[in-house]
Structures are given as C-alpha cells and as structure tokens.
C-alpha cells in the first residue's frame, strides 16, 4: 500500500502555544494547493482528521473526504491552548523522562496516539490513499515503520502543507519522499 501523508496548513494561532487537539482554523495557500495536486495521483481516496485545519485542505483535494477521528492530533489535555512556557516544568520534565508513555494531565500519550493511528492504517483496504493529518500522527506512524526509538522521534519534522509518501508491505516500509 502507498500512503501519501499530508500535514495540514499552518493554523491561525500565536507561536509558542500548545495546540494538539484544539480545533483551529487554517487557510490553504493557492500555491500549496496547486503543488500538492501535482504531487498526488488523481482520483485517490482521501481520509482526513476531523479538525478544521485538515478539513480546509481535504475538502479541496476530494469532493467527499472520509473523516476519521483516529487521524486527529494528540490530545494534550490541560496543556491545550496554554503557552508552553506556562506549563509546569515538573510536567514537562516527566514527559521528557518518558516520551513514549507520559500523558499530559487529561490528555493522551504518544504511544496511545501511535496505537490509534496504526489501527486506522491497518483497517485500510485500498492500494493507495491520501491522509490529511497532523505532524504528531505522521511522526508516530513513521517512527513505528522506521523502527525509531522514542529518543529519536523528534528527529522527524514535517512542514505545513507538505506530503510524505511511504510504501508499506507486510514486513517493511520504504520512505519514498519526505516533506515535499
């Protein structure tokens, strides 16, 4: 199966704010939309996170994108909408000490995000598809497929409105392109 993983356009929010599951608006630039359309084979099914920063793009890529909650960004719980520098240092330290399994108060862990994203992909029955989603979802999928340990997860960075393509077989994953 070939998956085209697209990170949503830049959300309309101040820099330095934690905004995982927060439903923020975004505007897709016409140049980005045109570029993405040339990168993607025509006629592919499109799945999207339900968050509006993904919907603004998925609605432009397909007349009827399929919305799936499992493609939503990580839930940062009580951290959502707060400046990163106002989150208690002890909580950030606890997360840094156990990056895979720590869940912010009222939120979910990266491992929980990874499990729901992998469950989504396992249920796909098409040979090729587009997923409009978030950096966290793409990071957790690629970390799993590439066998990266948690200490290396942050090495995977994804720009807004870019496509990363992966070819999956039963026992391997090949990265075809990154951040294009």
Over residues 112-144, the pLDDT tens digits come to 999 999 999 999 999 999 999 999 999 999 999
The strand pairing partners of 129, in sequence order, are 3
- CA pair distance 3, 49, nearest whole angstrom: 15
pLDDT of residue 170: 80
- pTM reported for the whole predicted model: 0.95
Q: Which letter does DSSP use for residue 26 in this model?
A: B
Over residues 61-78, the pLDDT tens digits come to 999 999 999 999 999 999
Q: Could you report how far apart the first and last alpha carbons of the chain are, in Å?
A: 19
CATH of domain 6-177: 3.40.50.1240
pLDDT of residue 156: 95
Banded model confidence at residue 86, pLDDT cuts 50, 70, 90: very high
pLDDT of residue 155: 93
The arithmetic mean of pLDDT across residues 11-18, rounded, is 96
- Give kind and range of the element (H or E) at residue 176: strand 173-177
Return the structure tokens found at 174. 């090949």
- Average confidence score pLDDT of the chain: 96
Over residues 18-70, the pLDDT tens digits come to 999 999 999 999 999 999 999 999 999 999 999 999 999 999 999 999 999 99
- CA pair distance 46, 152, nearest whole angstrom: 29
Inter-residue contact 175 to 164 (CB < 8 Å): yes
Return the structure tokens found at 5. 């993983």
Banded model confidence at residue 4, pLDDT cuts 50, 70, 90: very high
- The torsion defined by the Cα of 113, 81, 77 and 23, in degrees rounded to 10, comes to -50
- CA pair distance 141, 19, nearest whole angstrom: 20
State yes or no: pLDDT of 171 exceeds 80: no
Strands 163-168 and 46-48: unpaired
Radius of gyration for the alpha carbons in the chain, expressed in angstroms and rounded: 16
């Amino acid at each position: 199966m070939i998956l085209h993983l697209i990170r949503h356009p830049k959300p309309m929010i101040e820099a330095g704010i934690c905004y995982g599951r927060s439903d923020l608006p975004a505007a897709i630039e016409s140049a980005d939309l045109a570029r993405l359309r040339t990168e993607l084979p025509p006629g592919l099914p499109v799945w999207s996170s339900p968050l509006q920063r993904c919907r603004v793009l998925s609605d432009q890529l397909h007349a009827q994108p399929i919305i799936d909650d499992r493609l939503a960004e990580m839930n940062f719980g009580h951290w959502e909408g707060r400046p990163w520098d106002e989150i208690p240092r002890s909580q950030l330290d606890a997360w840094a000490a156990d990056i895979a399994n720590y869940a912010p108060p009222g939120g979910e862990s990266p491992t929980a995000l990874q499990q729901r994203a992998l469950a989504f992909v396992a249920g796909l029955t098409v040979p090729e598809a587009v997923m409009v989603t978030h950096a966290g979802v793409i990071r957790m999928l690629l970390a799993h497929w590439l066998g990266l340990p948690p200490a290396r997860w942050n090495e995977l960075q994804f720009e807004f409105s870019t496509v990363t393509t992966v070819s999956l077989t039963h026992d391997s994953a090949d990265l075809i392109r990154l951040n294009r």
